[in-house]
């Protein structure tokens, strides 16, 4: 089925959206991206996602193509073209900025004009209460994981390993400590205390992660941003992963061993209810 995408100032059917084979996104993976959930036509935590996009752009020396207001206008128009407001259609909004077209040369040509692409797809529906299984893998990625770069080969390989093992996600370990999932952030619960690794170059500052930390703290559920050892992960009562598309999902099996009782935990249940209440309260959705 055809749908409308945004490419460099134009809204057009996906099959008409074409870019050059010399685009540096294609030859070097030279670009950054965002994925934002859209609930009933409302772009969830848009400002936070756009600010993170700007941080990613600044870090890799790509000029910001638009102001926040311009982005907002473009994205709202794209969402409207794909569903219209209040249709009940939840979407996943993908947006990508590459450095643009140049001869294949690693060195950056500052005259290059960015390529800007965005599309909306239906947000996959998950039965979160069923939980997922995960495996532990060595974090083989680079030192700048706080940048949301389109250069995702290690993550693709890690996800493949997870799927090969019959699991959904790979939880990554670097020097004995948990960093994050291949495409998610990680939380553990031990004796009623929720923990997630602190934000540094080893993980993406997840928008969902930050919101979960904020909501738990507001609700009086103890939540700490602290380093988590692999051994703590293995002994956790509960493990959750979070992302814009997954929200909060309980991990019920780790490397084929049950996590806690082997069923989604009580603290996850509480966190999930708080998150859903926040999400559906449209006054919170900007």
Question: Which sequence positions are flagged as catalytic?
Answer: 148
Question: Considering the rule CB under 6 A, would residue 208 count as an interface residue with ligand PDD?
Answer: yes
Shortest Å distance, C-beta 109 to ligand PDD:
28
Contact positions with ligand PDD (CB under 6 A) in 178-197: 180, 183-185
Shortest Å distance, C-beta 92 to ligand PDD:
8
Nearer to ligand PDD, 32 or 254 (CB): 32
Shortest Å distance, C-beta 105 to ligand PDD:
28
Nearer to ligand PDD, 23 or 180 (CB): 180
Contact positions with ligand PDD (CB under 6 A) in 30-89: 35
Shortest Å distance, C-beta 179 to ligand PDD:
9
Nearer to ligand PDD, 76 or 150 (CB): 150
153 to 182: interface string for ligand PDD, x by CB under 6 A: ---------------------------x--
Shortest Å distance, C-beta 245 to ligand PDD:
5
Question: Considering the rule CB under 6 A, would residue 149 count as an interface residue with ligand PDD?
Answer: no
Question: Considering the rule CB under 6 A, would residue 202 count as an interface residue with ligand PDD?
Answer: no
Nearer to ligand PDD, 168 or 243 (CB): 243
Nearer to ligand PDD, 82 or 208 (CB): 208
The Cα 64–Cα 238 span in angstroms is 40
Give yes or no for a contact between 18 and 25, defined as CB atoms under 8 angstroms apart.
Answer: no
From the list 207, 223, 271, 285, which residue makes contact with ligand PDD (rule: CB under 6 A)? 207
From the list 209, 223, 238, 249, which residue makes contact with ligand PDD (rule: CB under 6 A)? 209
From the list 38, 57, 158, 204, which residue makes contact with ligand PDD (rule: CB under 6 A)? 204
DSSP for the chain, written as a single string: ---EEEETTEEEEGGG----TTBHHHHH--EEEEEEEEETTEETTHHHHHHHHHHHHHHTTPPP-S-HHHHHHHHHHHHHHHT-TTS---EEEEEEEE--B--S-SS--TTPPPEEEEEEEEPPP--GGG-EEEEEEE--S-S-TTS-BS--HHHHHHHHHHHHTT-SEEEEEETTEEEEETTBEEEEEETTEEEEPPPSTTS---HHHHHHHHHHHHTT--EEE---BHHHHHT-SEEEEEETTTEEEEEEEETTEE-TTSS--HHHHHHHHHHHHHHH-GGG--
**Per-residue tokens: 214:** 């904020």
End-to-end alpha-carbon separation of the chain, Å? 29
Please report, as ranges, the residues that interact with ligand PDD according to CB under 6 A.
35, 180, 183-185, 204, 206-209, 242-245
């Amino acid at each position: 089925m055809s749908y409308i995408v945004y490419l460099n100032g134009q809204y057009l059917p996906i099959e008409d959206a074409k870019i050059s084979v010399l685009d540096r996104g294609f030859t070097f993976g030279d670009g950054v991206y965002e994925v934002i959930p859209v609930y009933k036509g409302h772009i969830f935590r848009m400002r936070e996602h756009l600010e993170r996009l700007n941080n990613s752009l600044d870090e890799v020396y790509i000029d910001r193509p638009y102001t926040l207001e311009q982005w907002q206008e473009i994205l709202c128009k794209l969402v409207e073209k794909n569903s219209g407001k209040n249709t009940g259609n939840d979407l996943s909004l993908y947006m990508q900025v590459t450095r643009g077209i140049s001869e294949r040369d690693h060195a950056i040509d500052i005259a290059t004009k960015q390529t800007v692409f965005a599309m909306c797809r239906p947000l996959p529906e998950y039965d979160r209460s069923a939980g997922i299984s995960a495996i532990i893998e060595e974090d083989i990625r680079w030192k700048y994981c706080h940048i949301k770069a389109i250069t995702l080969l290690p993550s693709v390989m890690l996800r493949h390993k997870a799927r090969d093992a019959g699991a959904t996600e790979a939880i990554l370990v670097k020097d004995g400590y948990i960093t994050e999932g291949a495409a998610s952030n990680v939380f553990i619960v031990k004796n009623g205390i929720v923990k997630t690794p602190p934000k540094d170059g080893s993980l993406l500052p997840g928008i969902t992660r930050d919101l979960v930390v904020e909501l738990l703290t507001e609700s009086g559920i103890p939540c700490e941003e602290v380093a988590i050892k692999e051994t703590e992960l293995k002994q956790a009562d509960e493990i959750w992963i979070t992302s814009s598309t997954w929200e909060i999902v309980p991990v019920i099996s780790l490397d084929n061993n049950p996590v806690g009782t082997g069923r989604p935990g009580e603290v996850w249940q509480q966190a999930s209810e708080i998150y859903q209440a926040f999400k559906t309260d449209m006054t919170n959705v900007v």
